[in-house]
Amino acid sequence: MKFTDGYWQLLPGVTELRPRQVDDVVAGEDTLTVYASTAPIVRRGDTLNRPLVTVTLHSPMDGVVGVTIEHFQGGLDRGPRFELHRSVGDVKITTPQLTGEPVATLRSGSLEARVATEGDWSVEFVADGRVLTSSMARSVGVLTDAAGRHYVREQLTLGVGEHVYGLGERFGSLVKNGQTVDIWNADGGTASDQAYKNVPFYLSDAGYGVFVDQPERVSFEIGTEVVSRAQFSVEGQSLTYFVIAGPTPKDVLRRYTALTGRPARVPDWSYGLWLSTSFTTSYDEATVTHFVDGMAERDLPLSVFHFDCFWMRRFHWSDFIWDPGTFPDPEGMLRRLKDRGLRICVWINPYIAQRSVLFAEGMDLGYLVKNPDGSVWQWNLWQAGMGLVDFTNPDAVAWYQGKLRVLLDQGVDCFKTDFGERIPTDVVWHDGSDPQRMHNYYTHLYNRCVFDLLEAERGPGEAVLFARSATAGGQQFPVHWGGDCESTFVSMAESLRGGLSLALSGFGFWSHDIGGFEGAPDAAVFKRWLPFGLLSSHSRLHGSDSYRVPWAFDDEAVDVTRRFTRLKMSLMPYLSQAGRVAHEEGLPVMRPMVLEFPDDRGAATVDTQYMLGESLLVAPVFSAAGDVDVYVPDGTWTSLLSGEQVTGPRWVRERHGFDSVPLYVRPGTVLPVGAHHDRPDRDHADGVTLLLVELPDGHRSTLRVPSGAGEAVFDVRREGGTVRVRATGAPGAWAVQVHGRERHDVPAGTAHVEVPA
- Between the two ends of the chain, the Cα-to-Cα distance in Å is 59
**Region of 752 on the Ramachandran plot (φ > 0 left; ψ -120 to 50 alpha; else beta):** beta
Taking Cα atoms as reference points, which of 557, 579, 633 lies closest to residue 602?
633
Burial class (CB in 10 A: 0-12, 13-18, 19+), 605: middle
What whole-number distance in Å separates Cα of residue 614 and Cα of residue 580? Answer: 13
pTM of the predicted structure, to 2 decimals: 0.97
Contacts with 466 (C-beta within 8 Å, 6 or more apart), sequence order: 274, 306, 345, 414, 415, 416, 417, 479, 480, 481, 511, 538, 540
What whole-number distance in Å separates Cα of residue 262 and Cα of residue 473? Answer: 8
pLDDT tens-digit map of 73-104: 999 999 999 999 999 778 999 999 989 999 99
What whole-number distance in Å separates Cα of residue 690 and Cα of residue 723? Answer: 12
What whole-number distance in Å separates Cα of residue 40 and Cα of residue 20? Answer: 6
Contacts with 97 (C-beta within 8 Å, 6 or more apart), sequence order: none
Contact 64, 259 (CB under 8 A): yes
pLDDT tens-digit map of 412-422: 999 999 999 99
The helices-and-strands tally (H runs, E runs) of the chain is 12, 45
**Angle, helices 249-260/572-585, rounded to nearest 10 degrees:** 70
Classified as helix, coil or strand, 280 is coil
What whole-number distance in Å separates Cα of residue 496 and Cα of residue 572? Answer: 22
Instruction: Please compute, for residue 381, the number of CA atoms within 13 A of its CA located in the half-sphere on the CB side.
Output: 9
Dihedral over alpha carbons 739, 745, 750, 755 (to 10 degrees): -40
Pairing type for strands 304-307 and 343-348 reads parallel
Task: Please give the positions annotated as active site.
Answer: 418, 421, 484
Contact 587, 249 (CB under 8 A): no
Residues of the chain with pLDDT under 50: none
Q: What is the pLDDT of residue 750?
A: 87
What whole-number distance in Å separates Cα of residue 100 and Cα of residue 53? Answer: 24
Q: What is the pLDDT of residue 88?
A: 79
> What is the 3 state secondary structure string of 20-69?
CEEEEEEECCCCEEEEEECCCCCCHHHHCCCCEEEEEEEEEECCEEEEEE
Q: What is the pLDDT of residue 361?
A: 98
What whole-number distance in Å separates Cα of residue 181 and Cα of residue 198? Answer: 9
pLDDT tens-digit map of 261-305: 999 999 999 999 999 999 999 999 999 999 999 999 999 999 999
Q: What is the pLDDT of residue 624?
A: 97
pLDDT tens-digit map of 589-645: 999 999 999 999 999 999 999 999 999 999 999 999 999 999 999 999 999 999 999
